[in-house]
Amino acid sequence: MWVVLAFAAGAAPIALVAAPAHQSGAAPASNAPAQPSAADLAGSVVHHGDGVAAIVNDSVISDYDLRQRMALFIATSGVRPSADALDEIRGQVLKELETERMELLEAQKANVTVSAADVDKAIDDIIKSNHLSLDQLKSVLSQGGVDMATLRAQISVQIAWSKLVQDQLGDRVHVSPEEVNAEFERIKQGANKPRYRVSEIFQAVDSPEQDAKVLKDMTDLDNQIQLGAPFSTVARQFSQNPTAAQGGDLGWTQEGQLPAELEARLKGMSIGDVSQPIRASGGYYIIQLRDRQEPAGTRIPTVAQQSAIPAGTLPLVRILLPIGPKPAKDLAERAAEAAGALRAHIRDCQHAHDIVSRVPAAVYQNLGTMRLSDLSASMQAEIAKTPAGQTTEPFTSPAGVELIVRCDKPVPIETAIVIPTRDQVEQQLYEEQMTVLARRYLRDLRREADVESR
C-alpha cells in the first residue's frame, strides 16, 4: 500500500495575498512580520545547492531531495519547529528517504512500474480525504516552497513498494479455513468486551544497539504530535508498518489481537488520546485510540442525548479577509485563493487564532456561542454544510471573503459491537500475515544495504 499525506495546520507560514489597500468597512491590515517558508526552515539545517546527503547502494540522495522532503513535512505536519526540532526532523526525514531508496531500488530490480495514472489517483484521494481542490493542494505546497514533483515522487515509491510486497510475498500467505474458524469463534466469544479502533506508528528495533536511538526518534515524533502534528500525517511519513498507507489505521481490534503491552495501555485511554512510545515485540509503538465500541447488546444513547450544546446554537469563530464589497477582480481572486489555503491550514478554533495572527490583513473574531437564527443566510448555509470542528468553504460577504470555524467538537457516537463476516475475518488475517512478512523483508533490506549518511 502507498503513503498519502494528510494536510493539516500550522507549520507552514501562509504568505497569502498582498495586504489589500484599506477599503471602507475593512479592518486595518496587521503589521505582522513575514514568516519564513517551510523550504526556508528546511534550508537552515540542510546545505544549499545539490550536494550529497546520503548514498544508498551507490544511489545518491541529494541535499535538494532532503530539503524538499523536510519542507513537505513541515508544511503539512501542523507544527512550527524550533531550531532543535529542525535538527531532529532532518534526521528523521533522511532516515525515511534512505528507507524509501532501498524500497525503490528493490522494486526496480523486480521491474515494478508505477504509472502517472497511479500517482494521479493517489493525489485525488488526498484531495478528497482533506476536502481540498487541486488548486488548494498546489497552493499549500507552493506556500511551503515544495515542488509538486516531491509529493509525486514519494507517492510513486510507496506504490512501487506496495506492488513489490504483494508480488513477492502474496503467494506465501495462506489463511486456512481452520484459522478463519478459530478467529471467528474468538471474536464471537469476545463480543461481551469492548472493541477499539486504533491507529499506530511503528519503528523497528533490528538490534539491541538501536533501542535507545529508536526510542529517542519515537519520543521526538510523540512530541511533534503533542505540539499539534496530526497523528495520521506523522504515521504516513514515519511509520514502518504497512498501515502507514492509511495514516496508521489498524481498524477495529479486540482483546488478543494486539501485543499485550498495547492492550494494557489502551484500557486506560479515552477516545482521541495518544500514548507515549511503547516497547513491544519488534520495536516501539505510539498508538491513538480513535473510537470504541461497547459490548454487543449495550443500550446506546441517541446523538441528541450525547450532545451538551443547546439546540439551535453553536460556538463559532469568524475569519475575514477584508477586501470590501466591490474589490477589483484580481484582488477578489487572490483573496479567494488565500482563504482556501488558510482553510487548509486550520485544525480547530484554538489553532485558528495562531494561524490568523501570522497572516497580514486577516481578521480573527471569536463569536462565542451564537444562535444560528441571528446569523446571515449565507453564514447559516455554509455552517449547515460543515461538520463539527471543521471550517466552512470560503464565501463572500459585503465585508470581504470569510471563513467560519465550528468550535463544537464532534460527539463520539457510541456504538455496539457488530460481528464481522467470515470474508472480513479472512481479509484481516491475510493483512496481519502480510504485515509481518513485509516488516521482515524491509528489515533484511536494511541489514544488507550499504548506507552512507553525510
pTM: 0.62
- Rounded to an integer, the average pLDDT of 422-451 is 89
Confidence (pLDDT) at 82: 72
415: pLDDT confidence band, cut at 50, 70 and 90? low
Condensed to tens digits (0 to 9), the pLDDT of residues 33-81 reads 456 777 777 776 676 667 899 999 999 999 999 999 998 888 877 566 7
In a domain, 90, yes or no: yes
Contact 347, 10 (CB under 8 A): yes
Q: How far apart are CA 291 and CA 198, in angstroms?
A: 7
Q: What pLDDT is stored for residue 78 in this prediction? A: 56
pLDDT score of 4: 31
442 shares a domain with 392 = no
User: What CATH number does residue 114 fall under?
Assistant: 1.10.4030.10
Cβ pair 27, 363 in contact under 8 A:
yes
Pick the range with the lowest mean pLDDT from 229-233, 297-301, 405-409: 297-301
Same-domain status, 373 and 348: yes
Q: How many residues are recorded in the chain?
A: 454
Which residue from 218, 417, 196 is spatially nearest to 290, judged by alpha carbons?
196
Residue 247 lies in a domain: yes
Mean per-residue pLDDT of the chain? 81
- Average the pLDDT over each of 89-93, 296-300, 391-395 and give the range with the smallest value: 296-300
Q: Which of 69, 88, 72, 67 is nearest to 12 (CA)?
A: 72
Q: Is the pLDDT of residue 84 over 50?
A: yes
161 and 194 fall within a common domain: no
Question: Phi and psi for 349 in degrees, rounded to 5?
Answer: -65, -45
Query: pLDDT value at position 308?
Result: 52
pLDDT tens for 249-270 read 888 887 778 899 999 999 888 8
In a domain, 30, yes or no: no
Q: Lowest mean pLDDT of 97-101, 131-135, 209-213, 439-443, name the range.
A: 131-135
In this predicted structure, what is the pLDDT of residue 3? 32
Residue 292 sits in the same domain as residue 333: no
Q: Are residues 285 and 420 in the same domain?
A: yes
pLDDT at res. 338: 82
Between 347 and 385, the more confident residue is 385
Same domain, residue pair 162 and 79: yes
Residue percentage of the chain with pLDDT more than 70: 85
Residues 420, 288 share a domain: yes
Query: What pLDDT score does 48 carry?
Result: 66
Q: What is the pLDDT of residue 352?
A: 84
In this predicted model, what pLDDT tens digit does every residue of 179-232 receive, in sequence order?
999 988 887 777 777 888 899 999 999 889 999 999 999 998 898 887 777 888
For residue 58, give its domain range. Answer: 38-168
**End-to-end distance of the chain based on CA atoms, in angstroms?**
30
Model pLDDT, residue 224: 82
The amino acid present at 175, given as its one-letter code, is V
Residue 20 has pLDDT above 80, yes or no: no
Q: Is residue 144 part of a domain?
A: yes
Tell me the C-alpha distance between 160 and 107, whole Å. 6
Spatial distance between the Cα atoms of 427 and 173, rounded to a whole number of angstroms: 11
333 shares a domain with 282? no
CA 98/CA 92 separation, integer angstroms: 10
Clarify whether residues 389 and 315 are in a common domain: yes
Q: Residue type at 401? A: V
Domain match, 210 and 113 both: no
Q: Is residue 164 part of a domain?
A: yes
SS3 of 227-246: the string is CCCCHHHHHHHHCCCHHHHH
Residues 252, 196 contacting (CB under 8 angstroms): yes
In a domain, 14, yes or no: no
Residue 150 grid coordinates: 516531491
Within 10 angstroms of residue 160's Cβ, the number of other Cβ atoms is 22
In a domain, 24, yes or no: no
Say whether 316 sits in a helix, a strand or coil: strand
Is residue 238 one of the residues assigned to a domain?
yes
pLDDT (0 to 100) of residue 11? 32
| Same-domain pairing of 433 and 289 | yes
pLDDT at 356 over 90: no
Number of domains the chain contains:
3
pLDDT of residue 288: 94
Say whether both 87 and 205 belong to one domain: no
CATH number of the CATH domain containing 357: 3.10.50.40
- Using CA atoms, how far residue 43 sits from 47, 99, 292, 333, 350, in Å, is 7, 22, 42, 31, 29
Domain end position, chosen among 105, 135, 168: 168
Q: How far apart are CA 159 and CA 2, in angstroms?
A: 5
Q: Please check the confidence at residue 10 and state whether its pLDDT lies above 60.
A: no
